[in-house]
Amino acid sequence: MLQNPVQLRLEKLEPWQHITFMTALCERMYPNYVLFCEQTEFADPMQMHLILDSLWESLTVKNAKVNFERQLERLEELVPAEDEHDIYLVYPALDACVALSHLLHGLLDRDILMESLVKISTLSAQTVADLEEAQTGSAVTNDNQKENEAVCGEWDVQWELFRVLRSAEKRDIEMIKGLRADLREEPISNIGVAL
């Protein structure tokens, strides 16, 4: 499992910052799912988009009522089985689903929120590392990850997200909306899939 000091730094932030960080990472993994669905006609990716919308809404709309249990049920219907698809994209698509599942579980049980954050942070970097390994044949590990440009790029994005969130003194709705807009205006995933 890939690790990075950003995960320890994030622990010091507030729960709303944790949730925003995770939602942003899930948003970045979403194009991987879309491309997989387009190539396999497996599911309507808009369904995952609606789940992401509800999570952003829970962060930006005062008194928003989001049924996370129901969102988790909706997500379960969207998860591809890796053994039923023989294209590589099933793995990043599956990772996108797993990340979103960790986030929803963290929202349902706040005791595991930080644990969910570390899992999503690691998973997003691992998706990148797995693709690198599939392309080059050599594994990316905790020890050699600094030599891998793509994995370093992923950690750079996570550090940038951390810096943006850390700069907010209180829950800043406009900043969260701006972050969502930035991610959606130029949707490029952690492995470079552009919508």
Would the CA dihedral through 124, 10, 101, 185 be positive or negative? negative
**pTM (whole model) above 0.95:** yes
**For residues 83 and 85, what is the distance between their CA atoms, to the nearest angstrom?**
6
Closest CA to 48 of 108, 3, 97, 87: 97
Please write the tens of the pLDDT for every residue from 84-110.
999 999 999 999 999 999 999 999 999
CATH of domain 6-184: 1.20.1590.10
pLDDT at 95: 98
pLDDT at 152: 97
pLDDT at 1: 85
pLDDT at 17: 98
**For residues 113 and 22, what is the distance between their CA atoms, to the nearest angstrom?**
10
List, run by run, the mean pLDDT of 10-residue segments along the chain (195 residues).
94 97 98 98 98 98 95 98 96 98 98 98 98 96 96 98 96 97 96 96
**For residues 125 and 153, what is the distance between their CA atoms, to the nearest angstrom?**
9
**For residues 119 and 27, what is the distance between their CA atoms, to the nearest angstrom?**
15
Please write the tens of the pLDDT for every residue from 42-51.
999 999 999 9
pLDDT at 46: 98
| Alpha carbon 189 to chain centroid, angstroms | 9
* Beta-bridge partner residues of 188: 194
pLDDT at 146: 96
Domains of the chain by residue range: 6-184
**For residues 114 and 19, what is the distance between their CA atoms, to the nearest angstrom?**
9
